[in-house]
Structure 1
Amino acid sequence: MVVRLSRDEALVLFEWLYRTDELTNDFADLAEDQAEQRALWNLTCLLERELVEPFSPQYGERVQQARARLRDEGS
């Protein structure tokens, strides 16, 4: 399966997955089954391999910019 994301979508999704993983102790509170937890980990790893932004000193700023570009007008 191929899923196509814009760079902004990938960055915002990666940030959410990373933050959620940190808050929920390895997605354990989100997942009904360990397979769901594994799928979320795998998705996070795939995004991490493709993105250079998480390793940038301006990471937070880049996430904010990506979020701003993705928001609906007026949100």
Structure 2
Amino acid sequence: MSKEVELKLTEDEAWVLFEFVRRFSDTDKLSIEDQAEERALWNLCCVFEKSLHQESEIEYKDFLSQCRERLRDEPE
């Protein structure tokens, strides 16, 4: 089981990111409709950089592959 990571966002960042993700969920298209979405994504990336630490000694590419594998839906 993966560890939990707590992220802190402003309410404005949360709303803008929520709408960005909701729109993607509805359309399957990732597109920036407003510069605020770009700023919110940059800010989120900074939060991730401060919060995430690769604890393993394996290569980043392999580490990310393992993370993706654990996150995928179970085959039916």
- Range class of TM-score, shorter chain: 0.5 to 0.7
**Distance in 2, Cα, partners of 1:57 & 1:32:** 38
2:4 match: 6
Number of the residue aligned with 1:11: none
Q: Indicate the structure whose relative CO is greater, using CA pairs within 8 Å and at least 6 residues apart.
A: 1
Structure 1 position 74, deviation (Å)? 1.4
Letter in 1 for 2:4: S
Aligned counterpart, 1:45: 46
Higher helix share: 1
SS of 1:72's partner is coil
Alignment length, in residue pairs? 48
Larger radius of gyration: 2
Task: Compute the TM-score of the two structures, normalised by the length of structure 1.
Answer: 0.52
Structure 1 regions of 5+ residues with no counterpart?
A: 8-28
Q: CA RMSD in A?
A: 2.6
| Partner Cα separation in structure 2 for residue 6 and residue 62 of structure 1 | 17
Amino acid at match of 1:47: F
Q: Give % identity.
A: 46
Please report how far the alpha carbon of residue 6 of structure 1 lies from its aligned counterpart in structure 2 after TM superposition: 3.5
* SS, match of residue 33 in structure 2: coil
Structure 2 gap segments, 5+ residues each: 6-29
Runs of 4+ in 1 over 4 A off after TM superposition: none
Once residues 6 and 64 of structure 1 are traced to their aligned partners in structure 2, the CA distance between those partners, rounded to angstroms, is 18
